[in-house]
Amino acid sequence: MISDLLLQKKIGWTPHEGQKRVLESKARDIVICAGRRWGKSQVCAYVALKALLKPRQKIWIVAPTYDLSNKVFDWVVKWLVLAMPEGHGDISYRPFPKIKLLNGSVLEGKSTENPAGLLGEELDLLIVDECSRVPKRVYESYLYPTTTSRKGRTFFISTPFGQNWFYYKWQEAKGKEDGESFHFTSKDNPYLPIEEWERAKERLPEQIFKQEYEASFMPDAASVFRGIKDIVRDDSLRDVVAGHNYIIGVDLGKHNDFTVLTVIDSTNNHTVYWDRFNKIEYPFQKARIKATAKRYNNARIFIDSTSLGEPIYEDLQRDGMFVDDYKFTNKSKKELIEKLSIFIEQKFIILPPISDLLDEVESFGYRMTDAGNVIYAAPQGLHDDCVFSLALAVWGLPSGSPKYKTNLELELSKTKVNKPNYE
């Protein structure tokens, strides 16, 4: 049995009261919803360190990216060197974070960017960091099975991100015999300078402050786009109509990103065509864009011409395509997203029920830099190609477009109402 008192003295760490409450819990599933700088990474690093010092333990720290998994991993490495100054086994960061001790215990940092790499393992301890930014399907399909055979413990730690699956996991743990949930604001960390709390409260939008520092589960607070489900229509996708004008938004993929083509009929603002592909050489991408534009009545193209996109824009222009370039900067991206947000909220466009498209639009929100600045983007580890392709297409639409009826509204409008006969 490892003595907490001796181990904490060795590593020079004293948990504050909230962290002590978590460490005292014997629950198998522990969900920690906490504000920024409360100390989530520290408390989970300590749990991982204790497990690592036991023989033949298998431990994972999983986050949306390897950089995020390193937050907990770095604390474990720092403390392991202090706990075992005489020799602490093998520590490596490449190709992924890993610690292997002579007692047979192994700790690895993992990313949800490649879910296939999460298959087939049996774990004694699973730590899911930035849990609210991890896709639900990745947890259910790839992570949950890892702890079943060994009856391993799972720590879910995160600040909230709207009321997504992390919110329901936090609620669920309250009523489970083998689960426990905790809620802490940033202010619950006694080591956080009060002036930092007040500064964030003054500088940040109210909803973001409540979510990031008060750790409140705010409906829609994480999402830039609201009312998405209201503009999804089963009959949106359709072939070209003679006499209609079309706009194509093209977000070009770079490296592992996707190239996405979104075609909107400017006559009625229906999204009529959608294509997504990657790992295709640029000459073939250009040919695909041209073919789509010609199919839809020589559609007007709005293309991301940043960096490697510029030569494709120039080639399309030389080939006689009706094409506009759009260079991405922080300012221009903000303008794109703001217009798309208005069109979605005011029901000015119709989207098809394509899961990849809708998943990106629904998850698109914001992230905070270390300096406390807010940048609107996809959650770390997820893509935003579909969002920007759609936004580029919407950029070419005139403002003040008509509103449209939802599927439910259409069904109700078809329903005949029998008026009472007073004769």
pLDDT digits (tens, 9 = 90+) for 148-161: 999 999 999 999 98
| Lowest mean pLDDT segment, chosen from 2-16, 150-164, 391-405 | 391-405
Helix (H, G, I), strand (E, B) or coil at 31: strand
Q: What residue segments make up the domains of the chain, in order of their start?
A: 13-212, 228-407
Instruction: Look up residue 4 and give its DSSP letter.
Output: H
pLDDT category at 396 given cuts 50, 70, 90 is very high
The two structure tokens encoding residue 13: 């760490």
Correct CATH for 228-407 of 3.30.420.240, 3.30.720.210, 1.20.120.530, 3.40.50.720? 3.30.420.240
Q: Is the pLDDT of residue 98 over 80?
A: yes
For tokens 């702890």, the residue is 147
**Identity of the residue numbered 388:** F
The two structure tokens encoding residue 125: 């301890």
Over residues 52-65, the mean pLDDT reads 95
The pLDDT score that the predictor gives to residue 416 is 45
Rounded distance between C-alpha atoms, residue 376 and residue 150, angstroms: 40
Residue whose C-alpha is closest to residue 388's, from 333, 341, 344: 333
CB atoms within 10 A of CB 342: 13
User: Alpha carbon of 13 to those of 4, 5, 19, 30, 43: distances in Å?
Assistant: 10, 10, 11, 21, 10
pTM: 0.62
Over residues 282-311, the mean pLDDT reads 92
* Of 46-50, 223-227, 395-399, highest mean pLDDT: 46-50
Over residues 313-332, the mean pLDDT reads 91
For tokens 């749990």, the residue is 47
The pLDDT score that the predictor gives to residue 95 is 85
Which DSSP string do the residues of 95-149 spell out, in sequence order? Answer: SS-EEE-TTS-EEEEEETTSGGGG-S---SEEEEETGGGS-HHHIIIIIGGGGTT
Rounded distance between C-alpha atoms, residue 99 and residue 77, angstroms: 8
Distance from the Cα of residue 272 to its chain's centroid:
26
pLDDT digits (tens, 9 = 90+) for 14-55: 999 999 999 999 999 999 999 999 999 999 999 999 999 999
Sign of the alpha-carbon torsion through 23, 65, 54, 46? negative
8 A C-beta contact, residue 48 and residue 127: yes
Q: Which long-range contacts (CB under 8 A, 24 or more apart) does 143-150 make?
A: 143/62, 143/118, 146/60, 146/118, 146/121, 146/122, 147/123, 149/122, 150/58, 150/122, 150/123, 150/124
Over residues 185-192, the mean pLDDT reads 95
The pLDDT score that the predictor gives to residue 61 is 97
CATH superfamily of 13-212: P-loop containing nucleotide triphosphate hydrolases (3.40.50.300)
8 A C-beta contact, residue 107 and residue 98: yes
8 A C-beta contact, residue 313 and residue 392: no
Q: Is the pLDDT of residue 370 over 80?
A: no
